[in-house]
Structure 1
Amino acid sequence: MSAPSPNDRPDELDGTEQPFVSHLIELRDRLVRALIAVGIAFAALFVWPGPSGLYDLLAAPLVAHLPQGTTLIATSVISPFLVPLKITLMAAFLLALPVVLYQAWAFVAPGLYTHEKKLVLPLVISSTILFLVGVAFCYFFVFGQVFKFIQSFAPKSITAAPDIEAYLSFVLTMFIAFGLAFEVPIVIVVLARMGVVPLEKLRAFRSYFIVLAFIIAAIVTPPDVISQLALAIPMCLLYEVGLWAAALFIKHTRAPEAEEDAAR
């Protein structure tokens, strides 16, 4: 009896190409839908209030503390055109963020267990809300206090006229810093729930985190006490919120096997 040829042997990868391709197609469709949502939001914001209106809104906290009659300047020829467009695109992404996150959730949800879905969906929603709250806190509270503090130290012989690109860079840095800082509870929940760091160690790390929060605030924010305290204090408070939320998530998102073991 002749030995089977290599062509007659079953292919271990047989049948795996189609599922892989179907996942790629679904990923493409989800990305397209997310981009369409961002595009629709961009078009709506472009019509009203418009790129210039959005930049005026973004610059309002700074303009309010500049000397009367002083405006921002543009040192580049194309800055008056590009900078408002960048602001509009950023605002469109934030406006379409729920749709973008829903598409991400819909893509990964079929591969998750029921107890994992109980963990992921609340984290996606809460992380979005916390990031937006951090941005809003920075815009409505921190900016006003920082610009007031800076202008109080400016000599009367100097007329402040910030460049619009430099202001955009500053705003984006502050928005990202405060948005990520407000994600501290999510980081705590994930570390504790995934078993990377036990909850008891996270509680013991509390005093070290306070020092770390002030160091981060001193590095990220401008060199003024107000903005540093405005970043460090919420981080410390949110760390405590994260410890409480982690205990709650660990209790209510156990796998069925873990619940049976805990009941015995």
Structure 2
Amino acid sequence: AREVIEVLNEAVKYDFVRFYPGKSYRNLLVIDKDFSSGAYVPLISHFPSLIIQTVLPKQVGLFGRTYNVVIMPESPFETFQIILLSALLLGSIGASPIIAREVWAYLEPALYPHEKKMVKKLVVISVSLFLFGIWLAVYIVTPWTLRITLSIYPFFVPQGYEAIIRVSVSDVVTLTIELALALGVVLQTPLIMYYLLAGGILDPSMFSRESMKIAFVVMLFVGAIISPDPSGLGMIVIALLLYLPFYIAVKLGEKAYYKRILQELVKEEEISVIKLKRGEHDGMQK
């Protein structure tokens, strides 16, 4: 067994030095030869800790009263759920550029030069929007939602009583990861709308003031589904964060649509002038 552990330790050292030259690898040892210290800790196990530190406040206060927030596990099996969801989010972040590259490699041979330029921009913007949605969920939406939700507890604590607010680890991590993936996917909508308008597939007249109001109501429903905040504030924040890029994409798409129409009219006018000149030239020759 000790020989196996030595081999594992050397393998971990080799991989770490190869990918992170000049850095210490002492904390990455799988296990000591005398079995006196703990086991190897995978990288994914640090991710839930980072999420909790980022999104969960240590204390909440209201009306001058402060309460401590304590995280507690609810089940011995929730660790597997946390690790799987964390791996899903990290895998999505790490794989998004690779997926974009594979999509580009698949489409590139069938595209014209001007289409290649357009699709390349689309892929870059799509990955950027996905990563922005994850950042938005982890650093803004989830912390804000949890702080508001936990701040409701002091309303139910009578004067003179002390309370500790217990929070499930799996609930916090699951909420954060679900919000991150949901916002990352939903933020692809503005990009799709822009290219549908710019390509002439959708008519800008469809997006009147009344239509945009209906779109905002739809985004309120999406915010209500995504956000667990019972106060409704989280729903409004998510709806605004979704509506703003959507509105900008529609306006930019309208501009690109009319620009394309104008270019087509100019080309038609130029063709008409060329035909007219050719007709006059042929008439003079006859």
With over 3 angstroms needed to count, the CA separation of the structure-2 counterparts of 1:49 and 1:209, relative to structure 1, is same
Per the TM alignment, residue 80 of structure 1 is displaced from its structure 2 partner at its CA by: 2.1
Answer with 164-173 or 62-71: which moved more. 62-71
> Structure 1 pair 239/90, CA: closer, same or farther in 2 (3 Å)?
closer
Shift of 1:242: 0.5
Unpaired runs of 5+ residues, structure 1, are 1-39
The range that moved more, 161-170 or 197-206, is 161-170
Q: 2:223·2:239 contact (CA, 8 Å) conserved in 1?
A: yes
Q: Does 1:87 align with 2:86?
A: yes
Q: Corresponding residue for 2:240?
A: 233
Pick which of 54-63 and 159-168 moved more.
159-168
Q: Is the 8 A contact 1:135 1:179 kept in 2?
A: yes
1:60 to 53, 57, 60: 53
Distance in 1 (CA, whole Å) between partners of 2:242 and 2:50 is 27
Runs of 4+ in 1 over 6 A off after TM superposition: 251-254, 256-259
Q: Is the 8 A contact 1:115 1:253 kept in 2?
A: no
Distance 1:263 1:225, change over 3 A: farther
Q: Which residue of 1 aligns with 2:213?
A: 207
Greater Cα radius of gyration, structure 1 or 2 = 2
Higher strand share: 2
Q: Which residue is equivalent to 1:112?
A: 111
Counterpart check, 1:193 vs 2:193: no
Change (3 A) 1:120 1:248: farther
Q: Give the Å deviation of 1:172.
A: 2.8
Higher relative contact order (CA 8 A, sep 6+): 1
Correspondence for 1:128: 127
SS of the residue aligned with 1:70? Answer: strand
User: Counterpart in 2 of 1:25?
Assistant: none
Distance 1:171 1:91 in 2: 13
Alpha-carbon spacing, 1:83–1:158, altered in 2? closer, same or farther (3 Å):
same
Deviation at 1:249, TM superposition (A): 4.5
**Does structure 2 conserve the Cα–Cα contact (< 8 Å) formed by 1:185 and 1:245?**
no
C-alpha distance after superposition, 1:204-225 (max 9, x if no partner): 5222212222232223322233
Aligned residues of 2:71 and 2:169 also touching (Cα < 8 A) = no
Once residues 94 and 174 of structure 1 are traced to their aligned partners in structure 2, the CA distance between those partners, rounded to angstroms, is 14
Return the match for 2:252 from 228, 245, 248. 245
1:111 Cα offset (Å): 0.9
Give the whole-Å Cα distance in 2 for the aligned partners of 1:238 and 1:89.
26
Q: CA deviation at 1:166?
A: 3.2
SS at match of 1:161: strand
Structure 2 CA distance, aligned partners of 1:116 and 1:262? 24
1:165 paired residue among 166, 170, 183: 170
Cα distance in 1, alignment partners of residues 135 and 144 from structure 2: 14
The residue type paired with residue 73 of structure 1 is P
Distance 1:263 1:235, change over 3 A: farther
Task: Tell me the equivalent position of 1:5.
Answer: none
In structure 2, stretches of 5+ residues that fail to align are 1-14, 20-27, 29-40, 60-66, 272-286
Using the TM superposition, give the Cα deviation of residue 179 of structure 1 relative to its aligned residue in structure 2, in angstroms.
2.0
Percent identity between the aligned chains?
A: 18
